[in-house]
Structure 1
């Protein structure tokens, strides 16, 4: 299987994966629409991500929402790595049709082609997301393992940010979330990623195509878009800091995420492409370590050598989760994957890269205002 199509292959994960596959001798085709939200204007001249792959891959400018673009890109391919998606929890809560059309509709077109057209596809690797879990996995003194539902708006408005579970009076203990955990996304983005994953994992086996799904945690590293104010907390904070703007930390700053370095994500994805053991399986991809947002902010400020005020405001976004970090037991056992980058090492490499980039305009306040007007930011 030497010919690989990467949808969204000019994006952050996709471009890094493309470079690794080319280095390993694969013939790579990229299907990407060069979204201005990620690449800025005039992407073919200015996009760092596009420019680093443009002479190394067969580039098809197009959309996964267009059947003809799929047909053009898929011809002669052995593997599809389906990364193209609209991303961002907050934005998904009001650009609902767009997220469904691209994430679910685009995947439906792929599968319809695979079911009804002549092709040579033998494997489909799909980028799922930790967002499908909603709130993570917890242990209760009273009830054992529990999966709390979405936090109540009334509690959040009163500054009570911790997750609760009915009948549990003692605080819940956060546990790593494994692949068998309850799936109950709390955002439209999460719902579309769940649907995407389930469609691939359900339909591909009926077509004698091997499916593999990776539930990526929060991916970061050099090359991450500094232009997108809607997603990627490290890039959002970095752009604010480099512009000398204060940071507004949501909730109490103790909400946590599993930050996984881009090279580790690429390595895991290559294993999914190459290893037969990955076929028909779903894997978490993360660092396996939770890091709270306040810690993230302080490390970034320190690394950039800036004096930036931090406000822990108690504000919150509807649809955000409190905690989630990956249990990596399965991917370590089956694919022998073990992340190489600690958060400290990865963030150092990321910030070293940022300081050498053009300082982008800080448009974050505009994205927040969009949510505020819709009642999604309180």
Structure 2
């Protein structure tokens, strides 16, 4: 593959896509962005969105819906590489906007592949933004059974305050890193759509002479992440609650954990997936490789932002949420040469510096919680 590429980023005005676009431009690549500038991400006046403004005059930009065949065809003109970010995100929202998530995430991917199969194009590589959500619960070790992949937790157990993952015939389980060969058993509609996206790309592209690469991102955070979107990551949600002096409701018992990976590390891994020959045909985890529990996240943000928000560990839980998952990064190290460089402590410090600079933002987080309760998805 040539050193300088013409790259289409669908969803390229979003949090990850815009940062990736700037990185690729700095390395001399040409970038086209296709994005509908969704108000949920960019606000009611998307032309003033900081994410959009950061790339607006630097890339070839098309404000179009990724589900449109004509829009995709126009965006693909002259491009040899596609990074497919455009998707609806959020596990909770996916459980009641089912048709929409399937339409955007799976339907648009099908249209993209259909163009590759039936129309002239110059695309040689496609990088699909997959997700840790396709794994569902992570990988565990049982003294009695060895490596196990627990089923989804029951609503009955969690309603009784028992949030542990369990496997019949086993004593308490020990969490271990989830590798790319781990069981795929998503616990949300969002996870299912990401699994289907990934499998479609990895199955169809090789038959058309296109190199596919799938990146299973863990929980991405950092400067630029929307503080107003109530369906974004918990770091942004908690930070904005603290800035507004509101209490933080930590679900379950606060010991549930996630692998939080800083935006700069995600951009670095994605750039390698675009440029490295060894990436072709491969699936990679992208994370920090370290689990951090949610109560620690809330307490750390409160301290670093100088906040005084009460932290309540409520026992509430969302249907479809997992307990634990963190990434095994050995394959990415070996084949991509990727190792995360930003620790959680450093990343949170940099994130909080940015949060303080932009100040509190209005958000309908309370409304999103009310909506999930009304749908029976928050207990």
Shared fold per TM-score greater than 0.5: yes
- Mapped contact 2:226–2:232 kept (Cα < 8 A): no
Size of the alignment, in residue pairs? 376
Cα deviations by residue, 1:240-290 (Å, 9 ceiling, x for unpaired): 111100000000000000000000000000001000100000000000000
Question: Which residue is 1:264 aligned to?
Answer: 265
Cα deviations by residue, 1:315-339 (Å, 9 ceiling, x for unpaired): 0000000000000010001111110
The CA distance in 2 between the partners of 1:28 and 1:330, in whole Å, is 28
Question: Which residue is 1:141 aligned to?
Answer: 143
Residues 1-378 of structure 1 mapped to structure 2, 5 A cutoff: 1=2, 2-44=5-47, 46-168=48-170, 170-378=171-379
After TM superposition, give the deviation of residue 307 of structure 1 in Å. Answer: 1.0
The CA distance in 2 between the partners of 1:289 and 1:122, in whole Å, is 34
The CA distance in 1 between the partners of 2:337 and 2:77, in whole Å, is 32
After TM superposition, give the deviation of residue 227 of structure 1 in Å. Answer: 1.3
- Mapped contact 2:278–2:336 kept (Cα < 8 A): yes
- Mapped contact 1:137–1:147 kept (Cα < 8 A): yes
After TM superposition, give the deviation of residue 363 of structure 1 in Å. Answer: 1.4
After TM superposition, give the deviation of residue 230 of structure 1 in Å. Answer: 1.1
Q: Secondary structure at the match of 2:348?
A: helix
The CA distance in 1 between the partners of 2:18 and 2:231, in whole Å, is 20
After TM superposition, give the deviation of residue 166 of structure 1 in Å. Answer: 1.1
Q: Secondary structure at the match of 2:358?
A: coil
After TM superposition, give the deviation of residue 161 of structure 1 in Å. Answer: 0.2
Q: Secondary structure at the match of 2:150?
A: coil
Q: Secondary structure at the match of 2:55?
A: coil
The CA distance in 1 between the partners of 2:12 and 2:87, in whole Å, is 11
The CA distance in 1 between the partners of 2:358 and 2:123, in whole Å, is 39
The CA distance in 2 between the partners of 1:120 and 1:78, in whole Å, is 5
The CA distance in 2 between the partners of 1:186 and 1:165, in whole Å, is 16
After TM superposition, give the deviation of residue 176 of structure 1 in Å. Answer: 0.4
Scaled by the length of structure 1, what TM-score is found? Answer: 0.99
After TM superposition, give the deviation of residue 362 of structure 1 in Å. Answer: 3.1
The CA distance in 2 between the partners of 1:188 and 1:73, in whole Å, is 28
- Mapped contact 2:227–2:363 kept (Cα < 8 A): no
Q: Secondary structure at the match of 1:154?
A: helix
After TM superposition, give the deviation of residue 55 of structure 1 in Å. Answer: 0.8
- Mapped contact 1:287–1:339 kept (Cα < 8 A): yes
CA-atom RMSD in angstroms: 0.6
Cα deviations by residue, 1:176-203 (Å, 9 ceiling, x for unpaired): 0000000000000000000000000000
Unaligned runs of 5+ in 1: none
After TM superposition, give the deviation of residue 64 of structure 1 in Å. Answer: 1.1
Moved more, 222-231 or 107-116: 222-231
Q: Secondary structure at the match of 1:167?
A: coil
The CA distance in 1 between the partners of 2:375 and 2:45, in whole Å, is 31
Scaled by the length of structure 2, what TM-score is found? Answer: 0.99
The CA distance in 2 between the partners of 1:84 and 1:237, in whole Å, is 25
The CA distance in 2 between the partners of 1:52 and 1:21, in whole Å, is 13
The CA distance in 1 between the partners of 2:42 and 2:359, in whole Å, is 13
- Mapped contact 1:18–1:28 kept (Cα < 8 A): yes
Unaligned runs of 5+ in 2: none
Give structure 1 regions of 4+ aligned residues with deviation exceeding 4 angstroms.
none
Moved more, 21-30 or 358-367: 358-367
